[in-house]
Chain A
Amino acid sequence: MNTSNNIITFDQVNKWYGDLHVLKDIDLSISKGEKWVICGPSGSGKSTLIRCINKLETYQSGQLQVNAKVPQQVGMLFQQFNLFPHLSVLENCTLAPMRVNGRNQQSAIDIAMHYLTRVNIAEKAHQYPHQLSGGQQQRVALARALAMEPEIMLFDEPTSALDPEMIKEVLDAMMELADSGITMVCVTHEMGFARQVADHVIFMDQGSIIETAQPIDFFDNPQHPRTQKFLKQILPY
Chain B
Amino acid sequence: MLDWQTQRRIELFLFEEARLLDAGQFQEWLKLYEPQGIYWIPSQPGQTDPLNVASIVYEDHAILAIRVQRLLEARALVLTPMPHTTHLIGNVEAEEAGDGGFTVSAAFVCVEHQGDRQRIYSGRHSYKLARHGDSFRIKMKRVALLNSDGVHTAMAVPL
Partners in one complex: no
> Which residues of A are in contact with B by a Cβ distance under 8 Å?
none
